Chains A and B, each alone.
Chain A
C-alpha cells in the first residue's frame, strides 16, 4: 500500500509541484490543505503517513500547525517547506519537532532525498 501524504501550503502551485513528484514515485496525496488550521483538521481526519508543511500561511502558520500535530502524534513525520532558510526559522521548526527542513526552491531530487531520510 502506498504511503499517504498530506500537503499543507497556501500556494496551489506548490501543491501541483509536490503532487507531480510524489505521485510519479508511487505516493498517494491524500489531502491538500491551504493553511495550518485546515492542515491540522485534515491530519486528524486522514491520518497521513507524512506531512509537507509550509511555514508562512494565513489563519495558522506552519510552525503552529506542526506543533499542534506533534502534540497529537509526536511520531508524525513532518517535512517543513520554506522560501526562507534562516537560522531563526530552522530553529523554530526544530523546536516544535519538525523532522526535515526543505528550502524552496526544491527540485525532484531534494524532495525524494527528504522522503528517503524518513523511510
Chain B
C-alpha cells in the first residue's frame, strides 16, 4: 500500500481531474444539468447545508472514501430531472435511492478514468446518509479533496478522502 503522505502533487491533480470529469459527466448525462464554477472548499464543514450524502468506499493501492453531498432540494430536483417525475410526487425513498445511484455512477466513471493510475480501485456498495447538521471528521493524514460545483442556484459537493 502506498504511503498516503507521499502522494505527489501531479498525482493529486490527476485524481482531482478524473473525479471532476466523472461528476460532471454523470450529472450532465442523467439530468441534463451542466455543472460549472467548481471551487475547492477549505476550512468549513463540507457537509454544511447538506441533508443527503452518497458514499462509496474505494479499495485498492489507495483506499479512499468518495462522497457527494447535497441539500434535499438539490437531490429532489436532480432525481426529478433524471426520472421525469415531478418533485412533489417523489418519495423520500426515491430521492435517497437517486443519491445512491448517483454516487454509484460517479464512482464507476471515475474508476474508468483512473484505470491506468495508482488510484485504480474496487468499489463497495453505495451508502446514503440522511440527516441535518452532521459533521465529517477525518483524522487521517491522507490527501483530502473537497470540491463544490454549482448549477443554477444549487450546489453539489464532492469529497474524496484518502484513508
Interface set of A (CB-CB < 8 Å, partner B): 11-14, 16-17, 20, 56, 82-86, 103-107
Of A82, A104, A105, which is in contact with the most chain B CB atoms at under 10 Å from its CB?
A: A105
Tell whether, in the assembled complex, residue B83 and residue A85 are in contact, meaning their CB atoms are under 8 Å apart.
Answer: no
Please, how many angstroms separate the alpha-carbon atoms of A23 and B112 in the complex? 31
Enumerate chain B residues within 8 angstroms of A86, measured Cβ to Cβ: 111-112, 115
Among B41-49, B93-101, B130-138, B140-148, the stretch in contact with A:
B93-101
Q: Are A83 and B109 in contact (CB under 8 A)?
A: yes
- The prevalent SS among residues of B at the interface is helix
Contact between A14 and B108, CB atoms less than 8 A apart = no
A2 to B125, CA, bound (A): 35
Q: CB < 8 Å: which of B25, B26, B100, B112 contacts A85?
A: B112
Residues of B74-100 at the interface with A, using a CB-CB cut-off of 8 Å, are: 79, 82-85, 93-94, 97-98, 100
Q: Closest CB-CB distance, B102 to chain A, in whole Å?
A: 9
Cβ of B83 and Cβ of A105 under 8 Å apart? no
Q: How many residues of B contact A (CB 8 A)?
A: 25
The answer to whether B65 has its CB under 8 Å from any CB of chain A is no
A92–B94 Cα distance when bound, in Å, is 30
A53 to chain B, nearest CB (A): 16
Q: Please, which residues of chain A bring their CB within 8 A of the CB of B127?
A: none
| C-alpha spacing A13/B98, complex, angstroms | 6
Interface of chain A: mostly helix, strand, loop or mixed: loop
Interface check B15, CB cutoff 8 A: no
Q: CA separation between A40 and B107, bound complex, in Å?
A: 28
Chain B residues with CB under 8 A of A17? 30, 82-83
The verdict on A104 contacting B108 (CB below 8 Å), with A11-B97, A12-B97, A13-B94 known, is yes
Binding site for A on B (CB under 8 A): 25-26, 29-30, 79, 82-85, 93-94, 97-98, 100-101, 104-105, 107-109, 111-112, 115, 123, 125
Identity of the chain B residue whose Cβ is nearest the Cβ of A85 in the assembled complex: B112
12 contacts between A and B (CB under 8 A): A12-B94, A13-B83, A13-B97, A14-B101, A56-B125, A83-B104, A84-B111, A86-B112, A104-B101, A104-B105, A105-B26, A105-B105
Q: When chains A and B are docked, how far (Å) is the Cα of A28 from the Cα of B101? A: 24
**Distance between Cα atoms of A110 and B27 in the complex (Å):** 16
Quote the shortest CB–CB distance from B98 to chain A (angstroms): 5
The answer to whether B93 touches A12 (Cβ under 8 A) is yes
Residue numbers in A under 8 Å from B123 (CB-CB): 83-84
For residue B83, which residues in chain A have a CB less than 8 angstroms away from its CB?
13, 16-17, 20
A13 engages B82 (CB within 8 Å): yes
User: In whole angstroms, how far apart are the Cα atoms of A105 and B94 in the complex?
Assistant: 17
